[in-house]
Every structure is written in C-alpha cells, then in structure tokens.
Amino acid sequence: MQPIRLLGDPVLRTKCRSVKVAGSPTGQQTIEDLRDTLSDFRSRKGFGRGIAAPQIGVSERIIFVDFEYSGPLINPKILARSKGMFELWDDCFSFPDLLVRVRRHTGIEVVFLDAEGKRQRLQARGALSELLQHEIDHIDGILALDRAISPRHIILRSELGRFEGLHRKER
C-alpha cells in the first residue's frame, strides 16, 4: 500500500512512460501497490473503482480497476470512442472532497497488456467506459478538473445536494 498523491503533486501532471516489460518485478510491485492502495482507500472512504500509477507516485502507464473488469491494464490505449456522450459528477482519490461535472464517451475500445504481458482488447460501455477514460487521463497527466464542463461545475462533495437543487431550478 502506498500513500495517495494529492492535487498539486507534480507527478499527477506528468505524462507517464510506457512499461517496457509487463511481467518485470518492478511492474508487478506497482500492480500490487495499486491493488492494495485501491482496496485500502475503498475500505476507509466507501468508494473507489480504479487507480492509476501516478496516484501512488509512479510515473508508469499502469492502471488498476475493480469494477465490471478487475485487474491491471498496462500501457492502455483507447483505440475507438463512441460518438455518444454523457455527463456525470466525477470524483478522484487525489482530490476526494471535490466533485467535477464532466462529459465522457458512452463507449470506448481499449487495448492493453495484462499482468502476464499478453495483449488484451476490451470494449467498455457506460460506467466502465467512464472509469477507464478517467484512469487513462491520469497516466496522460490529465485530471478530471481539466475536463470540467465549466468552472462552476467543480464543487465540494458536501455541497452536491444543494448544487443539484439549484441546477434543476436553472433549467
């Protein structure tokens, strides 16, 4: 388990390097750290479906998800994106008290290496698609804050109920 890097840490803004050997001891340790850190965060905070290596201070293209698909994605690359989009309140381990309203593609196709270094292809829709887009953004140095629909769509988690009420009145 590793500490979560928080907003402001330069590693979160770094485009990560590709992993050369997927089954290397270093890569395996990063995968274990990601899995353990995700599990710990989820047990303490009550939420969490995925994590990216920069969030534990590692500038490598590795993410770990545990939602619909469970396991590491090494050097993931989005091959295709649906034309359809949807909006949601996004959250992040690196700024756990904030919510950010973003638009994401309803579906994506991703190619990646698994823990054994075998090439895999994954079609993701809905919530899994959103999660993978969020985590892949992390390894490209992009945060959900950068994807905010507008500056007023960044709020404190504790204010969501009040904001949603105001938002409905504006429509």
Annotated catalytic residue within 60, 109, 135, 170: 135
Q: Is 135 a catalytic residue?
A: yes
DSSP the chain: --PPPPTT-GGGGSPPBPPS-TTSHHHHHHHHHHHHHHHHHHHHHS---EEEGGGGT--BSEEEEEESEEEEEEEEEEEEE-S-EEEEEE--TTSTTEEEEEEEESEEEEEEE-TTS-EEEEEEEHHHHHHHHHHHHHHTT--GGGGBSSGGGEEEGGGHHHHHHHHHHH-
- Residues designated catalytic: 135
